[in-house]
């Protein structure tokens, strides 16, 4: 499992830039991100190389943040690759809350972030099915 950071953002200009600036200043590298938005607010989700520094910097900058656990799954970078993983997830009865893809690739695999309700259980089920997942330490190295 991988630590994900979520940030509450008001829908006004410059907020996303402010987050990136704060992270840049403390040398945190963003690995993957997704922005969910509504009329008034957005939720920014981030996978970074050093979550602790990122949390501290954002809190100090006055943002409301939350840490959660997500699954980062290796998907074959070929047609039908994602479909295969989703099939396995639904096969073991895991419901996906949301998902987004990684910016970077590792070899010939793509990385996809899944937020599911019971990540630990889901990770165990996927592992039994032979699905490869990435851990925190590996994210730091990417």
Partner 1 sequence: MIWDEKHERMKKEEKESLQSDRLKAMVERVYKKVPPYRAKMDEKGVKPGDIKSLEDLRLLPFTLKTDLRDTYPFGLFAVPVSETVRVHCSSGTTGKPIVVGYTAADIDIWAETMARTIAGAGGTSNDIIQNAYGYGLFTGGLGIHYGGERVGATVIPISGGNTERQLMLMEDFGSTMLASTPSYSLYIAEVAQDKGVDIAGLPLRCGILGAEAWSDAMRKEIEKRLGIKAYDIYGLTEVIGPGVSFECEEQHGMHICDDHFIPEIIDPETGEVLPLGAKGELVFTTITKEAFPVLRYRTRDITRLIEEPCGCGRTSVRMERVSGRTDDMLIIRGVNVFPSQIEDVLMRFAGAEPHYLIVVDKRGAMDELEVQVEVSEGTFSDEVKELEDLRARIAHEVESVLGVRAAIKLVEPRSIERSIGKAKRVVDKRNL
The CB-of-115 to partner 1 minimum distance in angstroms stands at 7
The CB-of-89 to partner 1 minimum distance in angstroms stands at 18
Contacts (CB under 8 A) with partner 1, residues 16-35: none
Q: What are phi and psi of 108, to 5 degrees?
A: -100, 15
Nearer to partner 1, 6 or 139 (CB): 6
Scanning 25-33, 40-48, 77-85, 103-111 for contacts with partner 1 by CB under 8 A, the matching segment is 40-48
Q: What is the largest CA-CA distance in the chain?
A: 45
DSSP conformational letter for 67: E
Kindly report the CA angle at 130 between 101 and 74, in degrees rounded to 5? 15
39 alpha-carbon distance from chain centroid: 23
The CB-of-95 to partner 1 minimum distance in angstroms stands at 12
């Amino acid at each position: 499992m991988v630590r994900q950071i979520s940030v509450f953002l008001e829908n006004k200009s410059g907020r996303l830039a402010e987050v990136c600036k704060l992270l840049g200043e403390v040398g945190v590298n963003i690995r993957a991100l997704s922005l969910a938005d509504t009329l008034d607010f957005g939720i920014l989700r981030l996978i970074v190389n050093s979550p602790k520094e990122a949390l501290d910097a954002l809190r100090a900058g006055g943002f409301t943040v939350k840490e959660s656990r997500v699954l980062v799954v290796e998907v074959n970078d070929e047609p039908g690759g994602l479909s295969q993983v989703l099939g396995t997830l639904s096969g073991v009865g895991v419901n996906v809350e949301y998902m987004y893809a990684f910016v970077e690739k590792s070899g010939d695999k793509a990385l996809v972030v899944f937020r599911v309700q019971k990540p630990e259980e889901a990770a165990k089920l996927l592992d039994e099915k032979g699905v490869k997942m990435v851990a925190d330490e590996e994210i730091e190295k990417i």
